[in-house]
Structure 1
Amino acid sequence: MTTQHTNRRLLSRLWAVPGFRAMSSYRREWLVKDLVAGVVLTTLLVPQGMAYAELAGLPPITGLYTTILCLLGYAVCGPSRILVLGPDSSLGPMIAATVLPLVAAGGDPDRAVALASMLALMVAAVMILASVAKLGFIADLISQPTMIGYMNGLALTILIGQLPKLLGFKVEADNLTGECVGFVQKLADGAAVPAAAAVGGGGIVLILVLQRLLPKVPAVLVMVVLAIAAAAAFDLGKHGVGLVGELPEGFPPFTIPDVRLADLPLLVAGALGIALVSLADTISNASAFAARTGQEVRGNQEMAGVGVANLAAGLFQGFPVSASGSRTAVAERAGARSQLTGVVGAALIVLMLVLAPGLFRNLPEPALAAVVITASLSLADIPGAVRLWRQRRAEFLLCLAAFAGVALLGVLEGIAIAVALSVLNVFRRAWWPYNTVLGRVPGLEGYHDVRSYPHAGQLPGLVIYRFDAPLFFANAKAFRDEIRRLADADPRPGWIVIAAEPMTDVDTTAADVLEELDEHLNAQDVHLVFAELKDPVRRKIERYGLTRTIDPRHFFPTVEAAVAAFRLRTGAEWTPLTTTGQPAEPRPDAAAPPPADEQ
């Protein structure tokens, strides 16, 4: 093999890595914008990284380690031009719910870091394997209503969990109810530290006001700087306010997490939940920002990029990460053009740890609680829940159930409930699909729902029936019962035409039900007729042997063809009906369709 051929192969492999491909197309005019955006982004990365580490029950320094490594990992393997990854407020409670029950009663921070790092490696493995298997569609397992409920429950959980830290005390509890009770009891006992409450409350107000009135100003950084200045000026540490203290100096060491075999089951469960939420966050954020930059979203590559970011974080004492909409928006507003922005941010954090590790030693912990609480407020979507209540009560109930699952059972249990509810809702719609009789409406082509157009015309002896779902084991009997009800009408119809265009599948259980149904109808001189049945479904029916009972001549390409055949056979003429089923004058101005069903 020639050297030239070897070089070509090497170049083709490097070209497959998004980071190297981006370098080859990098434009010189982007450099200054990326450098400036990296500096601006760092002002948000540092305080949020530390705050979200504490939210996950870990030392603040691990948030900086995680930020550095995930930015570098995604810059090499992530396909999005400006997406920013890092510690996330939606993952923090899930990490804590997985790690803290495994930590010894004394709360050993080294063991917590090892468990969180192993969790990041597991999330990386899940993401990379899912990318190889092209399972990006898994992000769709959580429907929007259940995601709204989950995020609202998560926001409430974060808010209640951070209130004690905001006021300068701690509450030991295993669930939201216990935290609420403990918070009220401690508050009644006078455990709140006035100085801590002033720093925390003032921090929340300052961030919210600046974000509202001066959105281009880095509100979090301004608050953090003022909090550090206040801690130094008023010696807040001596007034009962907890401070972050001196951070370890230098770059994080390469570390293989050491965990016990007994810890793995809970870590695996947590990793699956975190991977699902991280994937959903990443795909949604990537889609939103790709639309602005003219890029295409490559879901499987995004999974690989997030997987590598988690891998890098897990090997250097970090914890699981996800895409961040807020940090990506900051980078975009600052002029970011490529992943060099994230690399600059990572480099600046490394310089800070090497040259100025004491920069944040006077940062009050209530200020970090304020950062987390304001982030939790952005997770909540109360208007979305209200919209569901107004538009579709069934989906509002799904939202409420997901919210209750997070709030009452826990974060990991809540994500499991959200996924289960989403899947069950899909199954419910297929189990009890919308079905109706169709008729002809003067002035409108085709055949239409008699519930929307009660004066639609009918052919005596013919019923056109539409069943809006695949026919499978769970709904086959409901289909059978409805057809029998139509066949038992007085007068009895001669043909029941199934408008089968929505019927995308027929499984073996449904085939057996159809065979029994057709035999039952034939005994009553009623014929089951199919129109617009898709070719793959027709072939399945033939393979099942149903044409032994269902006359092959009773399959028509369109409803119009089936109706024409019936009219040719019987000479029937159209008869308009009223809502009571009696003849009436045709009404071209048919009623408008009703609102979406409340199923």
Structure 2
Amino acid sequence: MESGRRPAWLGGVFQVSRKHAGRDVIAGLVLTTLLVPQGMAYAELAGLPAITGLYTSILCLVAYALIGPSKVLVLGPDSSLGPMIAAVIVPIVASGGDAVALASMLALMVGVMMTVAAVAKLGFVADLLSHPTQLGYMNGLALTILIGQLPKLFGFSVDADGLFAEAGGFLRGVANGETVPAALALGAGGLAVILLLRRYAPKVPGILLVVVAAIVVVTLFDPPVDVVGALPQGFPPFTLPHASWSDLGLLAAGALGITLVSVTDTISTSSAFAARTNQEVQGNREMLGIGAANLSAAFFQGFPVSTSGSRTAVAFQAGARSQLTGLVGAAAITLLLVFAPDLLKNLPQPILGAVVIAASLSLADLPGMRRLWRQRRVEFSLAAAAFLGVALLGVLPGIAVAVGLSVLNVFRRLWWPYRTVLGRPAGVNGYHDVRSFPDAVLEPGMVLFRFDAPLIFANARTFREEVRALARAEQKPRYIVVAAEPITDVDTTAADMLEDLDEELNQAGISLVFAEMKDPVREKIDRYKLTRTIDPAHFFPTVEDAVSALREDAR
């Protein structure tokens, strides 16, 4: 039966069609070639054993396939979440905590937050990260990941916390001769191959080729490089997440940031692929699917997961059209752990560093920053501030800075909205912005004023001062007509301001008039009883009607 005949609420694996099943299986096998090395690399990026990346991949793929709405999204360990996870658990581990247990508790908290948000229909929280701040945050994250992985690429480690401390430690290590030539040759060579194939032959599985070649080199020549080592055999055991009470506060704060980043990334990736699969984005159901994926991973020594745009693209290009692809990937990883856990024991650590660095470079978007600089300097400033927040303060404070800047940008537009005077341009119907039409004719005895925002407590003073300035003009107007169509709301603070302002204007012989006010806003005006001071006859359906009715008296 075709997927289109199945209920829309079923998970992606239940939307498989016989026509696409074969391609889904092949895509799942292709996907596995990315899931294994990236899962291991991103686990180490999060400060966890490599094996936990495979455990996490298995459980999250199965859970999302059963519950998630998208046919093609691929979930798993993510390069953007790795530093956030490490920022939460590493300080606790330093004081004696269990990294795997802490990461599992973090995944449990993220899963609960996602599920609660989905039930409460809070999908709009993804909007808390605007595109400019998200761009700056991701660029900062890319730089942080890159600097943090350079020592591994060069074959040594650095005990430091923070971008500048890690960069300083890396430079000192290189200067002191700690570089392992064999490690650098493998890591840098592998990174170059991955990037070149991504650029010039994107359909070639560059990561797989590099991983296989590196394992062969280590097996044959035994160079002095650190390797992953033998992996535990078998399916991950069921384990209850646990953490001390004193650690729950930091874990909850980290989980909140991870949830926000994961939701934002998932909604944007889902939107990009929805049109290709004839689906609509279901934000709340996506959160439910991600929540289930995190909850499942939490009970099997996993850590928080998100959607992977790169792995989703690979799966889609390989023919994936349902979540059968994810189940095949999960089954392939399970078979690897059960029957061939030693297959990856000679995988060099510098190659995992190369995989992570390649992922970090894909997070960076310098052309996007240049575009913001050309298009809108204010939003470029927001992106730059978010970038500096991550680079200077760290990953978790950086996400707080990014969210704070996004929210402040919204309030900035409400506090100081665009406002202008309208006039009648020659040869153009209606009244228009005098800044766009400097030669527009102003109506004698009246000012047509437009305020492009809801009228609320945050901008009530701005509105009042603008109207007062118009009233103090050299040629005092008889009427100030507010073109109120952009005013979508009037709160009680603004209502009190309007009442006082109207009385003040009346004493100066000026009347406040409204045109094109929306019905819901007019109903609030009546409910606030503002018509006690504002003449009920001074509300008009259009600006033209107001001008026609008042023109004679205004002269």
Q: 1:454 aligns with which of 420, 438, 442?
A: 438
1:104: how far off?
3.2
- Determine which of 484, 502, 525 is the counterpart of 1:500: 484
- Alpha carbons 1:465, 1:496 under 8 Å: kept: yes
* CA deviation map 1:305-344 (0-9, x unaligned): 0000011101100000001111111111111121001100
Cα distance in 2 between the residues matched to 1:288 and 1:373 = 24
- For 2:149, the equivalent position in structure 1 comes to 162
1:457 match: secondary structure: coil
Q: Match for residue 126 of structure 1? A: 113
- Match for residue 260 of structure 1? 244
Select which of 64, 73, 78 maps to 1:88.
78
**Partner residue of 1:438 out of 409, 415, 422:** 422
Q: Does 1:482 align with 2:466?
A: yes
Residue 561 of structure 1, CA deviation: 0.7
Moved more, 150-159 or 507-516: 507-516
* TM-score with structure 2 setting the length: 0.97
Secondary structure of 2:94's aligned partner:
coil
> In the alignment, which of 102, 109, 114 is matched to residue 92 of structure 2?
102
CA shift for structure 1 position 68: 0.3
Contact persistence 1:168–1:197 (CA under 8 A) = yes
Deviates more, 1:398-407 or 1:96-105: 96-105
| Partner of residue 332, structure 1 | 316
Letter in 1 for 2:43: A
Who is 2:123 aligned against? 136
In structure 2, distance between residues paired with 1:457 and 1:58:
70
Give yes or no for the alignment of 1:224 onto 2:211: yes
Distance 1:415 1:18 in 2: 33
- 1:30 corresponds, among 2, 9, 20, to 20
- The 1-side partners of 2:456 and 2:279 are apart by 40
Q: SS state of the match for residue 465, structure 1? A: strand
**In structure 1, what is the Cα distance between the partners aligned to 2:524 and 2:433?**
28
Please give the secondary structure, in 2, of the residue aligned with 1:437.
strand
User: Quick one: which of 535, 544, 547 aligns to 2:519?
Assistant: 535
Which stretch of the first structure deviates more once superposed, 253-262 or 540-549? 540-549
Matched residue, 1:40: 30
Percentage identity across paired residues of the two chains = 67
The CA distance in 2 between the partners of 1:519 and 1:212, in whole Å, is 68
Output the CA distance in 2 between the equivalents of 1:17 and 1:518.
54
Cα distance in 2 for partners of 1:62, 1:38 equals 20
CA contact (8 A) 1:495 1:528 kept: yes
Q: Distance in 2 between matches of 1:132 and 1:449?
A: 45
- Could you say which structure has the larger radius of gyration? 1
Per-residue deviation, 1:26: 3.3
Q: CA deviation at 1:29?
A: 2.0
Q: CA deviation at 1:15?
A: 5.9
Runs of 4+ in 1 over 3 A off after TM superposition: 14-17
* 1:422 and 2:392 correspond: no
Contact 2:227-2:346 within 8 A present in 1 as well: yes
Equivalent-residue separation in structure 2 for 1:26 and 1:190 (angstroms): 56
Are residue 58 (structure 1) and residue 42 (structure 2) matched?
no
Pairwise CA distance, 1:473: 1.3
CA distance in 1, matches of 2:322, 2:19: 12
Conserved? CA contact 1:17–1:76, under 8 Å? no
Distance 1:568 1:560, change over 3 A: same
Q: Deviations over 1:289-315 (max 9, x none)?
A: 111111111111100000000111011
Other structure's SS at 2:159 match: coil
Q: Tell me, which stretches of 5 or more residues in structure 1 are unaligned?
A: 1-13, 573-599
Q: 2:457 aligns with which of 467, 473, 480?
A: 473
Q: Which amino acid aligns with 1:514?
A: L
Aligned mates of 1:459, 1:210 — CA distance in 2 = 66
Aligned residues: 550
Which among 397, 401, 418 is matched to residue 413 of structure 1? 397
Matched, 1:554 2:538: yes
Q: Which runs of 5+ in 2 are unaligned?
A: 1-5
Aligned equivalent of 2:296: 312
Partner of 1:344: 328
Which structure 2 residues correspond to residues 560-575 of structure 1 after superposition, within 5 A?
Answer: 560-570=544-554, 572=555
2:3 is aligned to none
C-alpha contact (below 8 Å) 2:13/2:65 kept by paired residues: no
Candidates 170, 173, 177, aligned match of 2:164: 177
Displacement of 1:17 after TM fit? 5.5
Partner letter of residue 233 of structure 1? Answer: L
The Cα shift of 1:455 comes to 0.3
